Amino acid sequence: METLSFRQLPLVVKIGIWLVFNNAWWSIEEFVIDRKGLWRYMPYYRVGNGCVWDLAIALIVGFAIWRASHRTSTLPA
């Protein structure tokens, strides 16, 4: 069996990975930030609504996935 690089994965898998990381962020928001009151220390954060933090995480995760899928492999084939 041959191993695949991240670059070779189908687009559907990459979108699924993006969704998994965004769901992890939303869970951290729900169970840690909102319930412990940490939102008081986060500028521009809105409890229970979409905010700049959600957009920033979505863009960072998307950029990381894009970067990983366009990186040239330095490992021998």
pTM of the model: 0.79
The per-residue pLDDT for 67 is 92
Checking if the pLDDT of 75 tops 60, the result is: no
Note whether residue 2 is domain-resident. no
CB neighbourhood size of 35 (10 A): 10
Please indicate, yes or no, if residue 23 is contained in any of the structural domains: yes
Q: Would you tell me how many other CB atoms lie within 10 Å of the CB of residue 69?
A: 15
Quick: pLDDT tens for 25-63.
999 999 999 999 898 998 988 888 888 999 999 999 999
Q: In terms of residue numbers, what domain contains 50?
A: 11-70
In a domain, 26, yes or no: yes
**Number of domains, the chain:** 1
**Strand (E) positions, 1-77?**
none
